[in-house]
A and B are shown apart, each in its own frame.
Chain A
Amino acid sequence: MAIDSLVLGAGQEVGKSCVVVSINGKRIMFDCGMHMGYTDSRRYPDFSLISNTGDFDNALTCVVVTHFHLDHIGALPYFTEVCGYKGPIYMTYPTKALAPLMLEDYRKNMDRRGEDEQFTSDHITECMKKVIPVDLKQTVQVDKDLQIRAYYAGHVIGAAMFYAKVGDAAMVYTGDYNMTPDRHLGAAQIDRLQLDLVITESTYATTIRDSRYGREREFLKAVHTCIAAGGKVLIPTFALGRAQELCILLEDYWERMNLKVPIYFSAGLTIQANMYYKMLINWTSQKIKETYATRNAFDFKNVRNFDRSLINAPGPCVLFATPGMIVGGFSLEVFMQWAPSEMNLVTLPGYCVAGTIGHKLMSGKPTKIDLDKDTQIDVRCQIHQLSFSPHTDAKGIMDLVKFLSPKHAILVHGEKPKMATLKERIQSELGIPCYCPANNETVTVPSTHYVKADASETFIRSCLNPNFKFSTYSSVDKSYLDSKYSKAASGLQVSDERVAEGILVVEKGKKAKVIHQDELLLMLGDKKHEVQFAYCFPMHTERLQKTRTEELPSADTLLCDLDKCTLINQLSMKLSNELSDANILDLGEQLQVESFRVSICSKNSCPHRLSHSVHNDSESVFLCCHWSLRDEKLAWKIISIMKSSSPHTT
C-alpha cells in the first residue's frame, strides 16, 4: 500500500496550493488555490491531471480547504462550477463564512483589470452551498473508510490543519500555520498522531524570527511618523485576516496615543466583514475571546468606510485597501495616486508573490515601476515592510515535524532553494525522509497497513510479563582496557526485552486469532506430544574420587549425597566459566540451564544410556541429561563442555 501525493500547485513556489493525495483508494484534494502572479491558464492548478475525462466526482473522494486565502481557495468556484466537481467540500465554519467575501472581492478586482472572468458571483454562491462546515477537532466520517479532522492552525481566522485517515494509513496536511500566537489568533495546536505523511508549508523555510513586539512597534512608529507629518498611509491587504489584525493593533495604538486621524476601510473591506469576525470570536486567541461580552474586539471605533473621492482629500489618513500585494484593483488605483509623494507610506506584508507590484517594491528600491507598456509609476513614497508574518518560521516547522514524527514529510508552499535547505535539516536532524516535489510531480511513500486479528488475554498477559535477563559483564571492553578501572568495572547487567511470542490461528470464515502457545492444543482439541532429548553418559572422575573419597571404605558403591552435590557444584562452576550469559541453577543434586537438566544417574540400567557396557568401577559416574527441543543447541554445548574435561581440573 502506498500514499501518492500529486502536487498540482505550490510545488517549490508559493501560490495556487493544491495537492491531491491518494491514500488507500481514497483521493482527497487539499486546497484549491489560485496563483496571484499569473493571469493565464497557469493561474489555476492543472485539473486535467486528476482526471483527463473531466469526471472529477469519481476521481475525488472529497475536497478539503484549509483557509480562505485566495492561494488556497481561489480556484474552487472554477473547479466546482466550471469544471463541474459536485462531490463534498469541507472547510471550517469561519472559512465557509468568509471565503465568499474574499472571492467576491477578488472577482470584482479582476473585472476591473479587464481579464476574462473565470467565475461569476453566482458561481461563488453556488459553490459555497456545496461546502460542509466542520468544527475544530470534529471527526468527520466522509465515507465508510475516510475520516478527516481539523486542528487549529493560527495564520488567519478559521485556518486549519487537516488530518486524514483511511484504514491504518494517516496523514496531515498543514495548510498555512503559525506556531506563535499573534495579535488576534492563537498558535497552531495538534494532537500527537501516528502519521505516515505530513505535508507542510515552508514559506519561511530558513528564517528564524524573534519576538514580534519589537516588529509591531516598528510598524506603528513608521505609521505614526508618516501621519504626524501629514502623510497618507496605504496598507494593501486582502479583505480579511491581516486587515483585522493590523486594525486591532492600530485601534489599540490610537486609543493609547489619543490619535484622531481617520482609519479607512476600502469598499472591499466592508465593515460587514467585522460582523463575521464578531460572531467567530471563538476562533481567535484566548485574550480576544474574553472580550465578547463587554466590547467585542472587532467593534472598531475609529474605522470608517472609504470612497474614491477621499483619495485626494487633504490631510493624513490610514487606508486599508484590497487587494493585497497590490495585484491590481483599488489598492493599485490608490497606489498610483499616492506613490509619487515622499510624504506617503506604503506598508507591504512580509511576503509578496513574484509578479505582483508588491514584489517589485520589495526587491530593491525602485524609483519607477512599469505597470504596462504605457503606464509608469513614479515611486517616491516610503516603503515599510511588515516583518511579522502569520506564517511559522523555520523553527516552528521543525518543531511541528518533530512533534508529529511522521514516517515521511513533503514540503510545499515555499521557495525552492530554501526548501532544499529545510529538507536537508529534516532528513539529517530528524531522520525523516523528506521531499520537495515541483508542480505536477507525484511523490509516492509507503503507507502503514496492519493485519487485524483478535488476541487472547493469555497472549496479551504473556507479552506484558517482564523478561529479565541477567548477565555479568566484565570489563574486557576495549575502551577501558588500559585504564586503571578495568578491573573494577564488572557487575550484573539486567535487561528486560519483552518479546511477544504467540501463535496466529486462521480458521475459515473466522477472524484470525493470536493465542498463547499453551492455548493452542486446547483450541485444536489435540493432545500434546512432548518431544525431548535425553542422554545418559559416563564421566571419568578418577582423580576426583581419589582425592575426595580416600577415607571412604566402599568406593565401589554409589556416591554419597554430599559428593553428588560437590560434583554438581564443580560442574556448575565449570559451566559458568564457559557460558557467561547462561542462567545456571544449581539445585544441589541437579543442575539446570533453561530446560536442560543434568543429574548424577544412580540407576544400574538407565533407559537413556546407549552403551550398557558399564565400567562399574569407581572412576566412572553417569550423568543423566534431558532437555527439550527449544534448547537443543545449548544442550549439546553443555554436554561437550562437560565431556571435554573433568570438573576436577578447574
Chain B
Amino acid sequence: MKFTCLSKGGGFHFSPCHMLNVSGFRILLDCPLDLSSLALFSPVPVAHQAHESLDTDSVIRKKQKIEKTLDANDLVHAEPWYKTVKNLHLWDASFIDVVLISSPMGMLGLPFLTRTRDFSAKIYVTEASARIGQLLMEDLVSMHMELRQFYGPEDSCFPQWMRWEELEVLPSELRKIALGKDCEELGAWMPLYRDDVSNLEEMAASLLKDDESAEEIEKLVFICACALDSVRVGGSVLVPIDRLGVVLCLLEQMSLLLESSSLKVPIYIISSVAEELLAFTNIIPEWVCKQRQEKLFSGEPLFAHVKLIKERKIHVFPAVHSPELLTNWQEPCVVFCPNWSLRLGPVVHLLRHWCSDPNSLLVLESGVDADIALLPFKPMAMKVLQCSFLSGLSLQKVQPLLKILQPKLVLFPKDLSCKIQISEANMIFLFSENETLRIPSSKESTDIDIATDLASKFRWKTFKQETITRLEGELFMDHGKHRLLSGFQPANSKQQRPLVHWGSPDVKVLLTELSKMGISGTIKQVTDDAKSEDDAKSENAAAIIDIHDPEKALIDVRETGTVIIAANENLASHIVKAVDIVLDGI
C-alpha cells in the first residue's frame, strides 16, 4: 500500500486530498476546491470604480514594487479562476480507479477531474453528500454567472492576470494566494466548470456521528445575541456562512430569539439552491443526530425551518434581484447567503449596501483572512464578528478515537505530530504533502478459510512441537477472502504415503523394521564414497543394505537421501514402508 498526501487542505471548506495505492488500485480520497483563493479576485465592480486598476498611477506603483498597504485595486479584476488541489495535476487522472468522497465539500473539484480524457474511475459518495454537493456546485456555477456576464466571454484560454509580468507585480500577500508558498501552484488554477454536473455512482456509507458539543451551541447563542443587538439599533445582520449545519441551527435559534424579543425582523435566505437544500435537509432523517431523529418518530419535521417558512418568518429567495425579494424587502433584517469568500454571490451586493452602516453586523467564519476578504468593501464601518466553528476532528479526540478503532497502523500528518502523543502500541507513519509513503503490509500471510468437510478428512501427524497434515482442495477467492474447498477428486483415491522425508535414518532400526516384514538383509559398509571413514556419523550416513530375502534388493542410505533398488514392485513398496517408519515424513 502506498499513500500520498496531495493536500493537507485548510479548514471546513477545503478538505484534505489523498491518493492511496492499494495493490495497484489507485484510490483518490476527496477532490475539493480551494475557494479561499477566490480572495485574489475582485468581486463584481460597481460601475463608478470599474477598471481603476488600469490607471497609470497604480500601474507605475505596481511596476516599482512599492509595498504599501493593500487596497481593493490590487485585486485581480478578471473572471475568477478556481484553485484545485495542485498536486493532483501530477497524476494521470485516467489511472485513478476509485474516488471516495467523504463530504459535500470534498466533491467540489470533481467536475475538473471527471472531464479529463479517459477518466474512468468509479466515484463513491453517500446519497446525502452527493445531493448536497451537487447543489453546492450548482450554486457556485450560478453565482459565477454574474461575473461571467460582467466580464463577457473569455477570449483566451490563458487569462491576462496569469501572465508572469502581471503576477510579478502583485503584492506579496496576493502573490502567495496566486502562486502558493513555493510558487508552484499556478497550474492548479482552472476556469470554472459549467452546469454539467457529472453522474455519480452512489453508495451508502456510514458516518461517525458526534454529539453536538455544548461549546458549539454556545457560539451560536452568542452570534444570535450579537445579531439581536444589531437589529435592536436598526442595523441588519449579514451571515455569509456556508456551513449547512451551522445555518440550520442558527435559523432555529435566531427565529426563536427574535420571536421572544418581539422584534418584527424578517430572516431572508438568498441562494439559488436554498429552497431545494432546505427541502432536502428534511428528508434525510437517517443522517441527523439522535435528538433530531426523535422528531421523525413523533411525526414532526426534522428542522424548524419548514414551519418558519410556512409562517412567513423565514423567506427564501433564489437571488438578490428576484421580484419576490424586491416586494418583500424590509430592513433591518437578517440575511443568510453565500459565499463566505465575499467574492461571489448575493453577499457582495449586500455588503456594499451595508458596509458603511456602523449598526449592521457581518458574521464571518474565522480562518478567512478578513483583511484581504474585506478589501473591496473598505472603508468598513460595519461591525464584523469572526467566529470559529468546529471542523473535522479536534486533536484531543484523536487519542480516544484510536483507542476505539485500535488500528494496526496510523498515518498522521507530520506537522501535527508534535502536538499530540500517540501511544506506542500503534505503528505510526508521519506524512507530509506530496510525499509518497510506503505502508508495509501488516500481514505476512493471507487468511484462509478451510471448509469443514475438507478439514474432517485430515490425517494428522504429530511431531516434537507441531502437528501437521497434508491438505488438498480447490482454492476460491470470494469478496477478498481465500477459501479452500474440497476438490473434485475423492481424497481416498490419492496416495496416502509421505512424499517428503526428513531426518536421518538409523540403518539398524531400518533393518529391524524390514525383518518385521519378513525381509532380511545385511549392512554393507561403503568405502569408496566421498565420505571418509573417520566421519563420526559415517555409519549412519552412508551404508548399503543388501537385501537377499525374499528377493535381491539394495538400499543405499546416505546423509541426504536413500535410494531403493529393487526389481520387484511389491518388495520396493515394502521397503518404502520401512523407510517411512525410520524417517520423519509427510
Q: Which residues in A have some Cβ–Cβ distance to B below 8 Å?
A: 1, 93, 96-97, 100, 128, 133, 135-139, 168, 194, 272, 275-276, 278-282, 292-293, 296, 448-457, 460, 463-464, 497-508, 513-514, 517, 520-521, 524, 526-537, 607-611, 626, 628-630, 632, 636
- Known A-B contacts: A499-B472, A533-B563, A533-B566. Give 12 more (CB < 8 A): A275-B301, A282-B286, A449-B452, A454-B448, A500-B475, A528-B560, A534-B556, A534-B565, A608-B565, A610-B553, A626-B563, A629-B499
Instruction: Give the shortest distance, in Å, between A249 (CB) and chain B (any CB).
Output: 22
A529 to B504, CA, bound (A): 7
Select the stretch in B19-27, B211-219, B483-491 that faces chain A. Answer: B483-491
List, in ascending order, chain A residues with CB within 8 A of B284's CB: 282
Which of the residues A455, A506, A628 comes within 8 Å of B446, measured between beta carbons? A455
Instruction: Give the shortest distance, in Å, between A604 (CB) and chain B (any CB).
Output: 14
A610 to B282, CA, bound (A): 94
Select the stretch in B259-267, B409-417, B460-468 that faces chain A. Answer: B460-468
A448 to B485, CA, bound (A): 11
> B286, A293: Cβ atoms under 8 Å?
no
List, in ascending order, chain B residues with CB within 8 A of A168's CB: 449
> A460, B446: Cβ atoms under 8 Å?
yes
> B455, A503: Cβ atoms under 8 Å?
no
> B297, A96: Cβ atoms under 8 Å?
yes
Select the stretch in B164-172, B322-330, B568-576 that faces chain A. Answer: B568-576
> A498, B475: Cβ atoms under 8 Å?
yes
List, in ascending order, chain A residues with CB within 8 A of B178's CB: none
List, in ascending order, chain B residues with CB within 8 A of A194's CB: 478-479
B104 contacts the other chain (CB 8 A): no
Q: With A451-B452, A530-B501 given, is the CB distance from A272 to B299 under 8 Å?
A: yes
Q: With A279-B302, A528-B501 given, is the CB distance from A514 to B448 under 8 Å?
A: yes
> A513, B445: Cβ atoms under 8 Å?
yes
Mask for B472-516, Cβ within 8 A of A = 1, else 0? Answer: 111100110011100111000001011111111100000000000
Which of the residues A128, A504, A529 comes within 8 Å of B560, measured between beta carbons? A529
Q: With A279-B302, A455-B482, A503-B586 given, is the CB distance from A531 to B449 under 8 Å?
A: no
Q: With A292-B283, A506-B466, A529-B505 given, is the CB distance from A457 to B583 under 8 Å?
A: no
> A610, B450: Cβ atoms under 8 Å?
no
Instruction: Give the shortest distance, in Å, between B104 (CB) and chain A (any CB).
Output: 16
A451 to B487, CA, bound (A): 16
List, in ascending order, chain A residues with CB within 8 A of B572's CB: 533, 632, 636
List, in ascending order, chain B residues with CB within 8 A of A528's CB: 500-502, 560
A504 to B447, CA, bound (A): 13
B10 contacts the other chain (CB 8 A): no
> B503, A529: Cβ atoms under 8 Å?
yes
> A500, B449: Cβ atoms under 8 Å?
no
A626 to B563, CA, bound (A): 9
Select the stretch in B272-280, B343-351, B385-393 that faces chain A. Answer: B272-280
> A500, B473: Cβ atoms under 8 Å?
yes
List, in ascending order, chain A residues with CB within 8 A of B52's CB: none
A531 to B560, CA, bound (A): 9
Q: With A293-B275, A530-B562 given, is the CB distance from A607 to B556 under 8 Å?
A: yes
Q: With A282-B283, A501-B472 given, is the CB distance from A451 to B445 under 8 Å?
A: no
> B583, A529: Cβ atoms under 8 Å?
yes
List, in ascending order, chain A residues with CB within 8 A of B488's CB: 497
> B446, A526: Cβ atoms under 8 Å?
no
List, in ascending order, chain A residues with CB within 8 A of B204's CB: 135-138
> A610, B567: Cβ atoms under 8 Å?
yes
A151 to B374, CA, bound (A): 51
Q: Which residues in B have some Cβ–Cβ distance to A below 8 Å?
A: 127, 204, 206, 275-276, 279-280, 282-286, 293, 296-297, 299, 301-302, 444-452, 455, 458, 463, 465-475, 478-479, 482-484, 487-489, 495, 497-505, 552-554, 556, 560-567, 569, 572-573, 576, 579, 583-586
Q: Return 13 A-B CB contacts under 8 Å, by A number.
A: A194-B478, A275-B301, A276-B296, A278-B283, A279-B301, A282-B284, A292-B280, A293-B276, A455-B448, A460-B475, A505-B468, A514-B484, A526-B502
Which of the residues B127, B297, B458 comes within 8 Å of A504, measured between beta carbons? B458
A629 to B573, CA, bound (A): 9
A524 to B468, CA, bound (A): 11
Instruction: Give the shortest distance, in Å, between A22 (CB) and chain B (any CB).
Output: 18
> A527, B450: Cβ atoms under 8 Å?
no
> A455, B447: Cβ atoms under 8 Å?
yes
Which of the residues A502, A508, A629 comes within 8 Å of B471, measured between beta carbons? A502
Which of the residues A133, A534, A537 comes within 8 Å of B564, measured between beta carbons? A534
List, in ascending order, chain B residues with CB within 8 A of A293's CB: 275-276, 279-280
A532 to B478, CA, bound (A): 40
List, in ascending order, chain B residues with CB within 8 A of A524's CB: 463, 466, 502
Main secondary structure of the interface of B (DSSP, over half): mixed
Q: With A97-B296, A498-B475, A499-B474 given, is the CB distance from A531 to B501 under 8 Å?
A: yes
List, in ascending order, chain B residues with CB within 8 A of A610's CB: 552-554, 565-567
> B471, A460: Cβ atoms under 8 Å?
no
Question: Which residue of B448, B455, B478, B505 has the most chain A CB atoms within 10 A of its CB atom?
Answer: B448
A499 to B297, CA, bound (A): 56
Instruction: Give the shortest distance, in Å, between B307 (CB) and chain A (any CB).
Output: 12
List, in ascending order, chain A residues with CB within 8 A of B293's CB: 93, 133
Identify the closest chain B residue to A447 (Cβ). B452
A-B pairs, 10 with minimum CB distance: A450-B449, A530-B561, A455-B448, A454-B445, A526-B502, A293-B276, A463-B475, A500-B475, A636-B569, A451-B450
> A279, B285: Cβ atoms under 8 Å?
yes
Main secondary structure of the interface of A (DSSP, over half): mixed
Q: With A275-B299, A507-B466 given, is the CB distance from A451 to B455 under 8 Å?
A: yes
Identify the closest chain A residue to B290 (Cβ). A133
List, in ascending order, chain B residues with CB within 8 A of A506's CB: 466-468
Instruction: Give the shortest distance, in Å, between B460 (CB) and chain A (any CB).
Output: 8
> B466, A292: Cβ atoms under 8 Å?
no
> B445, A457: Cβ atoms under 8 Å?
yes
Instruction: Give the shortest distance, in Å, between A510 (CB) and chain B (any CB).
Output: 9
> B470, A629: Cβ atoms under 8 Å?
no
Identify the closest chain B residue to A276 (Cβ). B299
Q: With A279-B283, A453-B448 given, is the CB distance from A505 to B561 under 8 Å?
A: no
A529 to B560, CA, bound (A): 5
> A282, B473: Cβ atoms under 8 Å?
no
Q: With A450-B451, A530-B562 given, is the CB distance from A504 to B283 under 8 Å?
A: no
> A292, B474: Cβ atoms under 8 Å?
no
Instruction: Give the shortest distance, in Å, between B488 (CB) and chain A (any CB).
Output: 7
List, in ascending order, chain B residues with CB within 8 A of A281's CB: 283
A33 to B281, CA, bound (A): 34
List, in ascending order, chain A residues with CB within 8 A of B280's CB: 292-293
List, in ascending order, chain A residues with CB within 8 A of B301's CB: 275, 279
> A535, B475: Cβ atoms under 8 Å?
no
List, in ascending order, chain B residues with CB within 8 A of A139's CB: 206
A166 to B71, CA, bound (A): 67
Which of the residues B297, B478, B502 comes within 8 Å of A529, measured between beta carbons? B502
> A93, B285: Cβ atoms under 8 Å?
yes
Q: With A451-B449, A514-B484, A632-B573 given, is the CB distance from A529 to B473 under 8 Å?
A: no
List, in ascending order, chain B residues with CB within 8 A of A520's CB: 468, 500, 586
A272 to B484, CA, bound (A): 55
List, in ascending order, chain A residues with CB within 8 A of B469's CB: 503-504
List, in ascending order, chain B residues with CB within 8 A of A629's CB: 497-499, 576
A119 to B103, CA, bound (A): 45
Instruction: Give the shortest distance, in Å, between A551 (CB) and chain B (any CB).
Output: 35
Identify the closest chain A residue to B460 (Cβ). A506
> A611, B552: Cβ atoms under 8 Å?
yes
A498 to B489, CA, bound (A): 12
A626 to B562, CA, bound (A): 12
Instruction: Give the shortest distance, in Å, between A71 (CB) and chain B (any CB).
Output: 22
Instruction: Give the shortest distance, in Å, between A133 (CB) and chain B (any CB).
Output: 7
List, in ascending order, chain B residues with CB within 8 A of A282's CB: 127, 283-284, 286
> B470, A531: Cβ atoms under 8 Å?
no
Q: With A97-B297, A137-B204, A500-B472 given, is the CB distance from A532 to B562 under 8 Å?
A: yes
List, in ascending order, chain B residues with CB within 8 A of A502's CB: 470-472
